Structure 1
Amino acid sequence: MVFSKEESLVYDLKLSSVGPGKTSGSDVVHELSSMDLAMKLHYVRGVYFFSSQAVEGLTIHYIKETMFTWFNEYYYTCGRFRRSDSGRPFIKCNDCGARFIEARCDLTIDEWLEMKDWSSLQKFVSQQVIGPELSFSPPVLLQITYFKCGGVAFGFSWAHVLGDAFSAIDCINRWGQIMALHQPNSPSPSTKLEEFENPHGVAKDPLSLKQVDPVGDHWIPLNGSNMETYSFKITPTQITNLRMKVMGSFFESLCAIIWQCIAKVRQAANGSEPKTVTICKRDTNKHKSGELSNSLKISTVKAELSVLEANPKKLANLLAEEATDETAQIEEAVEKDQGVSDFIVYGANLTFLDWQETDLYGLEFQGHKPQFVSYTIQGVGDKGAVIVLPGPNDVGNGGVGEEGRLVTLILPEGEVLGIQSELKKNGLLLEVELE
């Protein structure tokens, strides 16, 4: 099936707002940590596809009613950004609400999934960013798109300044629990603006953090390249073969191969290869279930050898054994000027994100799990990013196991075709993914 105008596939957009069912009080604020501010130019975007059985009898009235309860628990995600006298951003918890979007699509859910046009997923989730007017910019936007013949796509747009992808997914899964009549626990509001100390004697600047030109109140980095998104699935058999080939853990083995594939394409294009990469993983010592935070462990690896000529096993070993944790350095760098400067982490170097432990298929509608879930990031720098997610068969144990993976590449335009060819040579890209 061929469509001349993709934009016409999703239409009839209706906008409204939804927020907490009870007020959070007067003069309530939410302070942003150093890591929150390091991530403020990044956005997490998720799309869930649910069958017609999952949404049968599910009305907008009921959806919003359950969201009132949900946002009682996460009330500050419905606030708006302000700046203190020093220029440091914070959230004014004024209950302005999340943006709620309703739309329609002229395709069936199966027709859309069969298109395999990954870039088109953005039609199902808002691409709005914070600014240029902070007081009118919601950090959370929700979109429900109705397919022809039943089924919906549910889009979830999340400002990374609120918390990392693990927090975002825990948050949206909590809504699913509330829809299933689980009772929420309301957090205690904060009404005091904290004083953040300006650190002295800061160590060398972290390689994983890049300061960008000031963006003011329009929170999106200006890239030298347009970025393209491409996703592919990895089967359990491919996972086994990769482990046997590289003789390392799956994540590091996969990243080693992709690192080398990207190096080949960039070496051919401009004579350089990415020597330094960033690794972002969940910090299990900091992350607490039910709490929103940017609690990632952010590390860098610098290769002294040729990435092109290296044995993938050597690269995997570098990623596993030689990574330098820069999280504390990032926090110190952000606080040099009280959190006023603008930075990026994703794409400052080629960045590998391990999201395998997210409960990606944890959001349920009326006891039904989604048919397919995809997450990506907006605001990635020119060096690109690679996200490793649970695959669509990982629906029984929070995405942990050997069922398969979904890999999303966010790279400068013009690189994807060459990298597809390299991935195919390495057995990571099946013919069906190229159709």
Structure 2
Amino acid sequence: MADESGLVKVHSVLTVVSSRPVGSMKNHPLTGPDHAMGRHTLHMVFYYENTSFGSFDTDPVRESLSEVLCQYPAVTGRLTREDAGNWEVKCNDAGVRILRARVGVTIDEWLRCTDGSKERDLTVWEDMPENPSTWSPFRIQINDFEGGGLAIGLSCTHMHADPTSLILLLKSWTEVHRHQPIAYPPFFLPVAPHGARPVPVNHTKSTIYLADKSQAQAPSVKMASATFKFSDSIIKQCLSEIRHDKCPSATPFDFLAALFWTRVESLKKPKHDCKYTLSICVDFRRLLHEPLPYGYFGNALHFSLLSVDGEEMECGGLGHAAELVNRQVSSLKEEEFWSAIHSLESQKDEGGKYAPPCTMYGPELTCVSMEHMIVRHQSLIYSTIFDSVKPIHVSCHMGNVEGEGLILVMPSAEEGLARMVMVTLPEEEIVNLCKDQAILCLEPKLLLAGKI
């Protein structure tokens, strides 16, 4: 394989606007939960074999993008401050920045041998300038590989959208391109509790955790990432053992979160007398009594903290850790979601400006579940089909992960219980994790881990 430096060459930049003018929706205010994600960015890459968009300037795929953007005025708009100083999107149809790039290797070589940090080159990003009035907060990069195939990189500020929003934006694009109705149309109304019942704000687990997080500081260290793909048969076997031994209702997420949590902790100094902590992030769209539409556009993420004595973790083993994760996720109640939302909405100064954002992906080790993207046994992530071609791989990166790192559990291109785990850790730890025998004995396929 060639030298990795300069493998991705951007050769053109253009702006795509919606095919029809913006309608009645002129401004889209960002919520308290949106503002809380202000330190982070979001980057996703969808890989397709044997697919090409031609020149794009005249390709029908550009026409379908212009058409779908009519449904997403908040995507084509620009950030501005409202009177209190909070962010909102001015829906002026200024357009989305599109980049075209060539990659100097085949798609197989890239996935097999490239360092995970290089993947960000497929989603070239410019941080928000001091005056973002002309800055595109959404970017799409189309990368052509040698020998055919492409990768579509989508990037945005995490204030605008969460992973579900970005995935469904691409899915909507592919559906319009194939002349199909949009399965999950975007929904831009703010989240609001049902009825007039009072919502607890103070002294819940969620509000206490968010208050602690707002004060937390994490050291800045160089991070690296790697991706592990586990087969359907392996996950079925491991779940069978855990369900029989410890946790009858264990899910693939419970098992993999527990596996990587315990293995990452094993890379550190012994913590027999210390706490093992894991921040668990779930999407709450479908967990409310009156569920939000899948197409809700914004941030519908809930963070909760799992904390366990080191002695209990060391004695209980992997099955016990999976049981703890399962119990944490299944015990989340609607009151906790509303409590967290209202806590973030109420954190304003006297002028009505939201509190500064904090590091949501850190400083604790954070594990994100994407199990909600499996609907009726099918993954919405891999239903982003151009023509008749499904993605062969999908990556997701959160920008500005700090502290102990990030574990992201996602559906895999293989159907069934197969899962993919993307791990971002301090550089030295990721090297050791990729050699960890407790993980390697499960025969994962290792992607984007360089030459480890």
Q: Normalised by the size of structure 2, how large is the TM-score?
A: 0.81
Contact 1:227 1:411 in 2 (8 A): yes
Q: CA deviation at 1:57?
A: 5.6
In structure 2, the residue matched to 1:90 is 88
- CA-to-aligned-CA distance 1:152-179 (integer Å, 9 cap, x gap): 1111113222222112111110000010
In structure 1, the residue matched to 2:16 is 18
Contact 2:272 2:310 in 1 (8 A): no
- Is 1:407 aligned to residue 421 of structure 2? yes
Gapped regions of structure 2 (runs ≥ 5): 190-198, 244-249, 374-379
In structure 2, the residue matched to 1:195 is none
Instruction: For 2:275 and 2:409, locate their aligned partners in 1 and report how far apart those are by CA, in whole Å.
Output: 19
Contact 1:208 1:278 in 2 (8 A): no
Q: Which of 262, 265, 270 is the aligned partner of 2:264?
A: 262
Equivalent position amino acid for 1:331 in 2: I
Q: CA deviation at 1:183?
A: 5.0
Q: Which of 293, 297, 306 is the aligned partner of 1:292?
A: 297
Q: Which of 212, 235, 241 is the aligned partner of 1:239?
A: 235
CA 1:431/1:168 → structure 2, altered by over 3 Å: closer, same or farther? closer
Instruction: For 1:329 and 1:349, locate their aligned partners in 2 and report how far apart those are by CA, in whole Å.
Output: 21
In structure 2, the residue matched to 1:320 is 326
Q: CA deviation at 1:96?
A: 1.5
In structure 1, the residue matched to 2:406 is 385
In structure 1, the residue matched to 2:203 is 203
Q: CA deviation at 1:345?
A: 1.6
In structure 2, the residue matched to 1:9 is 7
- CA-to-aligned-CA distance 1:54-111 (integer Å, 9 cap, x gap): 3376744222221111110001111111122322111111211111001112222233
Instruction: For 1:261 and 1:186, locate their aligned partners in 2 and report how far apart those are by CA, in whole Å.
Output: 40
Instruction: For 2:65 and 2:364, locate their aligned partners in 1 and report how far apart those are by CA, in whole Å.
Output: 38
Q: CA deviation at 1:200?
A: 9.9
CA 1:208/1:350 → structure 2, altered by over 3 Å: closer, same or farther? farther
In structure 1, the residue matched to 2:376 is none
1:50-199 matches, within 5 Å, as 50-52=48-50, 54-55=51-52, 59-61=56-58, 62-183=60-181
- CA-to-aligned-CA distance 1:209-252 (integer Å, 9 cap, x gap): 62269xxxxxxx98511221111111123212321443333211
In structure 1, the residue matched to 2:390 is 369
In structure 2, the residue matched to 1:278 is 279
- Is 1:32 aligned to residue 26 of structure 2? no
Matched residues, percent identical? Answer: 23
Instruction: For 2:69 and 2:15, locate their aligned partners in 1 and report how far apart those are by CA, in whole Å.
Output: 12
CA 1:392/1:350 → structure 2, altered by over 3 Å: closer, same or farther? same
Tell me the matched-pair count. 409
Contact 1:362 1:369 in 2 (8 A): yes
Instruction: For 2:141 and 2:218, locate their aligned partners in 1 and report how far apart those are by CA, in whole Å.
Output: 26
In structure 2, the residue matched to 1:397 is none
CA 1:86/1:113 → structure 2, altered by over 3 Å: closer, same or farther? same
In structure 2, the residue matched to 1:331 is 341
Mean Cα deviation higher: 278-287 or 384-393: 278-287
Q: CA deviation at 1:431?
A: 8.0
Q: Which of 332, 335, 354 is the aligned partner of 2:369?
A: 354
3-state DSSP of counterpart to 1:368:
coil
3-state DSSP of counterpart to 1:136:
coil
Q: Normalised by the size of structure 1, how large is the TM-score?
A: 0.84
Gapped regions of structure 1 (runs ≥ 5): 191-198, 214-220, 395-400
Equivalent position amino acid for 1:97 in 2: G
CA 1:116/1:105 → structure 2, altered by over 3 Å: closer, same or farther? closer
Equivalent position amino acid for 1:79 in 2: G
Contact 2:225 2:423 in 1 (8 A): yes
CA 1:117/1:202 → structure 2, altered by over 3 Å: closer, same or farther? same
In structure 2, the residue matched to 1:303 is 308
Instruction: For 1:298 and 1:354, locate their aligned partners in 2 and report how far apart those are by CA, in whole Å.
Output: 11
CA 1:432/1:114 → structure 2, altered by over 3 Å: closer, same or farther? closer
3-state DSSP of counterpart to 2:381:
coil
3-state DSSP of counterpart to 1:312:
helix
Instruction: For 2:445 and 2:23, locate their aligned partners in 1 and report how far apart those are by CA, in whole Å.
Output: 57
Mean Cα deviation higher: 350-359 or 424-433: 424-433
Q: CA deviation at 1:353?
A: 0.8
Q: Which of 40, 43, 49 is the aligned partner of 2:41?
A: 43
Q: Which of 221, 224, 233 is the aligned partner of 1:225?
A: 221
Instruction: For 2:124 and 2:10, locate their aligned partners in 1 and report how far apart those are by CA, in whole Å.
Output: 14
In structure 2, the residue matched to 1:216 is none
Equivalent position amino acid for 1:363 in 2: T
Equivalent position amino acid for 2:428 in 1: G
Instruction: For 2:404 and 2:256, locate their aligned partners in 1 and report how far apart those are by CA, in whole Å.
Output: 18
CA 1:266/1:26 → structure 2, altered by over 3 Å: closer, same or farther? same
3-state DSSP of counterpart to 1:175:
helix
Contact 2:187 2:293 in 1 (8 A): no
Equivalent position amino acid for 2:214 in 1: Q
Instruction: For 1:281 and 1:188, locate their aligned partners in 2 and report how far apart those are by CA, in whole Å.
Output: 19
